[in-house]
Amino acid sequence: MSHFLSQTLGQVLRMEQRLTPQLIQSMAILQKPVADLEAHINDALESNAALELAEPEQVEPAEHSNEHDRRDGDGGFARLDRFTRDFGLDSGERPPYPARRATDDGDRDAKMGALANTSGRSASLQEHLLDQWHLLDLADEVRRAGEAVINHLDPDGYLRVTFERIADSVRPPLRVETLKQALAEVQHLEPPGIGARDVVECLLLQLDALPGDNQVERTLIERHLIDIIHNRLPTVAKATGYSIGEINEAIKAMRSMLCLHPGFLVTDRLVPPIRPDVIVEYSDTGAGLDIRLARGNIPKLCIREDVAAMAKSKANGKETRDFARKQVEAATALIDAVTFRKNRLLEVSRAIVEKQREFFDIGPEGLKVFRMSDLATELGCDPSTISRTVADKYMQTPRGMFPLRYFFTGGTENDEGESMGWDRVKTRVAELVAAEDHQGPLNDDQIAALLKKEGMEISRRTVAKYRQQLNIPNARQRRRF
């Protein structure tokens, strides 16, 4: 048996999609929310010698669109309005890009002024507790153990690590008995409930700090907290001998006086600020809605003429020309990416306002079925492009701030063929629950049946899913005795 090796020359036709560095950058820029875009451009302005912000006289009018492509007149107030928008003087929008201006020695330092007008950082939970701890008269070993316990508390005030782990984390190591003694002292600090290891202990520590014996509340917390959570009040009444009225009053008192997360009473949970990428307002003339990009989305970037000339001039050495050429190419790619992002964001925003017009008039119940795939077909792009365009971006509307993704929703049709977004169905579920008889609340099957009578045919499981998304308990937990 023989084997032959041979080589042949042929042609194969195939399609490939390759992502160029410019396309990758364009997609990355498209996905950035306004704050990240500002930071990215600031970095580019610092690192790229060919990139700069256009001077005010070079700035074109800011992107501004009406849902009917209407233009403002040339009246004085209209011109003033355009001026404030073009030069970033909108109320509540901070200047995103560094201004380049010369300052005299006698000028006021802008950074120092900003620091002087910035509110001070609030004390952390640990700082708040250590201030109290250092005022107590304690043995040195207990004081050191208390500091270790305080430093291991979670932001909500709970101690969720073992004594053994705390003992091994400090040098020299501490005895477990000393840590237990220190924890008992820590639990007397303000606010009450600090240092608890579970919910029951947290609530009981707060009861101890209240006047009176609070025996009913103590019994409910120690023995029947799970029954209370699941609204099994008859079971609690039978086990304790208390009347339903006494139990209801005790529950009301616990809700008003006790806190599940006492640490948050000292410091607020940090919530990152939300800045809008798109602003939608009712037109001053009352004829429709105006759509515009927030200032940070429309930086006016340009190529420095001296660097562009340096890239072409043969008077410079090859190394200098190559450096300048690469800087100009990088700056051009960034400008193209920012322009693409701006145009795509405006296109998507206009489509949202046109499709979801009823939302701006009547609220969430006016949302219609609107899918990203449908808009992608309309704009002639891939659905992933729409997804990147709306990712982590917000629209400021007359009805509040909403993520752009909020306006893309599935839905159903009623008997008349009218499309209804799922948010409209959710709103109706909430309305039915709010109007129910609290002594005989509606279960999910009954809610589904009522919606079916109104032309919204959805399953019981879908009702349960929407109820959970709305933080509405089930029928048993909603029942009032």
What digits encode the pLDDT tens for the residues 267-307?
Answer: 765 666 788 999 999 888 766 889 998 877 777 888 998 88
Asked if residues 267 and 123 have their Cβ atoms less than 8 Å apart, the reply is yes
How many Cα atoms occupy the beta-carbon half-sphere of 1 within 13 Å?
Answer: 0
Stretch among 53-67, 352-366, 368-382 having the lowest mean pLDDT? 53-67
pLDDT in tens, 133-189: 999 999 999 999 999 999 999 999 999 999 999 998 888 888 999 999 999 999 999
Asked if residues 398 and 282 have their Cβ atoms less than 8 Å apart, the reply is yes
Asked if residues 303 and 331 have their Cβ atoms less than 8 Å apart, the reply is yes
Cα–Cα distance between 432 and 444 in angstroms, integer? 11
Task: Classify 122 as helix, strand or coil.
Answer: coil
Domains contained in the chain, CATH given: 125-265 (no CATH), 411-478 (1.10.10.60)
Cα–Cα distance between 197 and 153 in angstroms, integer? 10
| R_g of the chain computed on alpha carbons | 32
Asked if residues 298 and 86 have their Cβ atoms less than 8 Å apart, the reply is no
Paired tokens of 206: 């707060």
Supply the pLDDT for residue 27: 84
Asked if residues 66 and 82 have their Cβ atoms less than 8 Å apart, the reply is no
Higher pLDDT, 82 or 198: 198
Cα–Cα distance between 21 and 346 in angstroms, integer? 24
Paired tokens of 340: 């693409």
Cα–Cα distance between 138 and 131 in angstroms, integer? 14
Paired tokens of 356: 């979801």
DSSP state of 400: E
- pLDDT at residue 431 greater than cutoff 80: yes
Asked if residues 427 and 364 have their Cβ atoms less than 8 Å apart, the reply is yes
Residue spans of alpha helices (H) in 48-139:
76-86, 110-116, 125-133
